[in-house]
Amino acid sequence: MNDQHRIVSSEDEDLVLVDRDDIGVGHLSKALCHDGPGVLHRAFSLFLFNEAGELLLQQRSAQKRLWPGFWSNSCCSHPRRGESMEVATRRRLLDELNFETDVEYVYKFRYTASFGDAGSENELCHVYLGNATGDVRPNRSEIDSVRFLSPNSLSAEMRDSPERFTPWFKQEWEELVANYRDRLGIYCKLD
């Protein structure tokens, strides 16, 4: 199987359980972390911008358990048992988009979101910014489509069609624009 179709995640992989202060308190399978109301675990979201200042968006695979086919930020996932956040973000970027780049930590927050009977997100999520410097080759096991969008176009689309986007992405974008404009402005132009 080539890099653009390889399986890179499993419902059996162990995720890091955390308390509200982001202190590790154990491990649990990805499946059990997302069942019912979910169990609080560590996660991350990457926001990657091209040279024109456009954000790389991904459309989640139709095969995903939670929010299949929804548009989301460039890359998001979880560190696995024994992985630092640096190792996890690098691994997942290669797993999903087949390129490497440096990312800058911005903030973290807790959120929960339910996707009907399929399960829930209950995450303490670390948010990072970076550049989409490589040739983007999405892994079709994880991503149905990618596109680049200017910050203004993204904000307008989120306002007009919020149901097309994952809940964490909407919340993170709003927070970045409202409270981290200076950091965000390094990567893109905001009006």
Neighbours of 86 (CB within 10 A): 12
Residue numbers in the chain where pLDDT is lower than 50: 1-2
pLDDT score recorded for residue 191: 78
Confirm whether 188 is a catalytic residue: no
pLDDT at 1: 43
> What domains lie within the chain, and their CATH numbers?
14-184 (3.90.79.10)
The confidence score (pLDDT) of residue 143 equals 95
Q: What is the pLDDT of residue 134?
A: 75
pLDDT for 151-184, tens place per residue? 999 999 999 999 999 999 999 999 999 999 999 9
The tens digit of pLDDT for each residue in 127-144 reads 999 999 878 999 998 999
Q: What whole-number distance in Å separates Cα of residue 127 and Cα of residue 167?
A: 14
Phi, psi torsion values for 17, nearest 5 degrees: -80, 140
123 is catalytic: yes
Single pTM value for the model: 0.94
Q: Which residues pair with 16 in a beta bridge?
A: 27
**Given 33, 54, 75, 76, the catalytic residue:** 76
Note every long-range contact of 15-23, with CB atoms under 8 Å and residues 24 or more positions apart, other chains counting: 15/41, 15/42, 15/78, 15/79, 15/80, 15/81, 16/41, 16/42, 16/78, 16/79, 16/80, 16/81, 17/41, 17/42, 18/42, 18/124, 20/110, 20/124, 22/108, 22/124
Which of 123, 125, 142, 188 is catalytic? The answer is 123
